[in-house]
Amino acid sequence: MSREQTFLMVKPDGLQRGLVGEVIRRMENKGMKLVAMKMIHIDKDLAAHHYGEHKGKPFYDGLIKYITSAPAVAMIWEGDDAVAMTRTMIGATDPRKAESGTIRGDLAMFTGKNIVHGSDSPESAKREIDLFFDDSEIYTYSLAHENWLYD
């Protein structure tokens, strides 16, 4: 296992439904460390960069309209195998296929409004972190209970 950082965003539907605290609670309860967080109203340019791999797909325009419709909460989480761990906690993209106990499995109903976005690889995490955060916004610190979490 390796300590890494991942990007996690509570999308506009999650913010509007009051689920930011629930997402943070689940991440903290798992033992992940929050190292950056901010509320942001994503503009079309940032949305186009963030979702660039979907350009040309039938759902792209709707995705851009949705993600720019209201504020979101962008976060960086740190932990051992943070990307894989976070993806497991988030659940399948389609909430109807997401397992019970995952964020999407418990809290979402439709793919288009599935509460959170999480990086799908360490490379994506770096790209997304660089899109949303400056180095000065990322904190380095130790949690008092880290020695109880990691070998």
- Catalytically active residues are 117
For the packed helices 82-90 and 122-132, what is the interaxial angle rounded to 10 degrees?
A: 90
CB 149, CB 82: distance < 8 Å: no
**Which residue is listed with tokens 């660089």?**
130
Q: How far apart are CA 147 and CA 23, in angstroms?
A: 23
Beta bridge partners of 73: 10, 39
Q: How far is CA 139 from CA 34, 76, 133, in A?
A: 9, 10, 11
